[in-house]
Structure 1
Amino acid sequence: MDKQKPDHAHWTAVADQWIAWAGAPGHDAFWAYRDGFASYLGAGRGSALEIGCGEGRISREARALGYHVTATDAVAAMVDAARAAQSADAYAVASSEALPFGDGGFDLVIAYNVLMDVEDVPAAVKEARRMLKPGGTLFISIVHPFRDRGRFAGPSVDAPFVVEGTYYGREHFDGVESRDGLSMHFAGWSLPLQDYMAALEAAGLAIVSLREPQPDAASTEQLRQWSRMPMFLWIKARALPSEE
């Protein structure tokens, strides 16, 4: 039985919501981190693979930085939207756990905010590792585990951040967020940081760089709260020498 089927069914059902939500400039939190993301990823001339491309905004950013980009997603409607926006140089409908490419074909593999939507994170990370050329880099963005397990007590910039329950353990999240006339039904998995690290270790990958980015100074007051606590975690990982 395919363990990703429930997640695939969810994202198939909400594909139109996501395409509208993520495609509206300035709407999603990503736009407040866009410059920092581009700076951290850096310019390149090699081949890049995005796993879980959605409507294609990350592939477009990587392409603008000089990479030759292949965009993949398990949901055909997402790939269609990415293609319509001319987000990449090539496209494929594919699960993160079963990518239709040979070993070691990419200088850069990007998994931007997709591992929270995958039930079997170790399998997805292992497959991403398989895609890397020797010396290649895996870039991962996840919603910061503390973000998932806590909340600000109020709307003010200096409101305390409260963690209720426990940080540890694997939890399923499911809820609708609405803003500026758009709604998005999010669902996925919240994991503590050590679970992601264990998946990297099991795949023979080591972290070479890490960022807990802050939003741009011009962000809304709500997002400025996240200048005090990290909303996202960005990781660059490479294969350990014995695994090359």
Structure 2
Amino acid sequence: MAENALTMMGQAWEDQARNWIDWVRRPGFDSYWRYRDAFFALVPDAGRATLDLGCGEGRVSRDLVARGHRVTGIDASPTLLDAARQAHPEGRYLVADSADLPLPDHGFDLVVAYNVLMDVDDLPGTVAEVGRVLEPGGRLCLSITHPITNTGSRRDGLFVLDRPYFGRHRFEEEVERDGMRMRFSGWNHPLSAYTEAMEDAGLLIEALREPRVGEDTVPWHLWIRAVRPR
């Protein structure tokens, strides 16, 4: 994909790239710092080749490399990939549309997609590409914002479902915290949209987690590990 041919979501994240880099590189600021150890417990040990799908500025890629993985990072945002390359010059980072990966069939034994699939314009196409690039026996490990969380809001200490659950709905939210500002954009999908995409791609779910941190009363993330059968 040409760098000037971004999808709608790709452009949204390119527009927010500088804010996102500042946001995620402040230790302990983003939820990743609270969840990452538990998430990596779901990820298989390093194998032949790992794809970090939607790698952004490279934080997951760097953590995978530290755990012994040979990583290729893919993202639609040139600015985020430049930041990833600067932080990890010896890494391999490619600009691409997640639904049209410039990668060979069966080239990876692991694909990691951390908080990515709700931010792509073509969810079925992206998951189909994951199935294509995974070798038989290879695995997909993904994190998404929980579909229930995306349909509600907090009011007076309660979590209220006040948005449609079924269907595909655009979301955009601007958050300001400790002098930092970030606009989050993506798509709300029901859980079945993700599971049907994996089913169509020939992936079988073998683990599902709803991580809880502290006194959380609703799940904020949903983690899935799926395998491409041999």
Paired position in structure 2 for 1:84: 86
Higher mean C-alpha displacement, 97-106 vs 37-46: 37-46
Q: 1:87 to 1:32 in 2, by over 3 A?
A: farther
**Residues 93 and 165 (structure 1), Cα distance of their counterparts in 2 relative to 1, 3 Å cut:** closer
In the alignment, what sits opposite 1:18?
20
Instruction: Give secondary structure in 1 for the equivalent of 2:148.
Output: helix
- In structure 1, the residue matched to 2:37 is 35
Letter in 1 for 2:226: A
Q: Tell whether 2:66 aligns with 1:64.
A: yes
Give the TM-score normalised by the residue count of structure 2: 0.93
Q: Counterparts of 1:176-191 in structure 2 under 5 Å?
A: 176-191=174-189
1:234 aligns with 2:209: no
Q: Does 1:44 align with 2:42?
A: no
RMSD: 1.8
Shift of 1:63: 1.3
- 8 Å contact kept, 1:4–1:118: no
Contact 2:167 2:189 in 1 (8 A): yes
- The alpha-carbon deviation at position 4 of structure 1 amounts to 6.3
CA positional deviation for 1:108:
0.4
What is the identity, as a one-letter code, of the residue corresponding to 2:196?
A
Rounded to whole Å, the distance in 1 between the matches of 2:227 and 2:47 is 18
Q: Matched residue of 1:91: which SS? A: strand
Contact 2:77 2:95 in 1 (8 A): yes
Secondary structure, aligned partner of 1:33? helix
Contact map agreement 1:49 1:70 (CA 8 A) in 2: yes
- In structure 2, C-alpha distance between the alignment counterparts of 1:53 and 1:69, rounded to whole Å: 10
Percent of residue pairs bearing the same amino acid type: 44
Question: Stretches of 4+ moved more than 6 A in 1?
Answer: none
2:101 maps to 1:112: no
Verify the 8 A CA contact 1:109 1:137 in the aligned structure 2: yes
Runs of 5+ in structure 2 lacking a partner? none
Amino acid corresponding to residue 39 of structure 1 in structure 2:
A
Match 2:98 to one of 93, 96, 99: 96
Query: Contact between 1:49 and 1:71, CA under 8 Å: does it hold in 2?
Result: yes
Normalised to the residue count of structure 1, the TM-score between the two structures is 0.88
Secondary structure of 1:145's counterpart equals: coil
Shift of 1:199: 0.6
- Stretches of structure 1 that go unaligned for 5 or more consecutive residues are 218-223
Q: CA deviation at 1:87?
A: 7.7
Partner of 1:204: 202
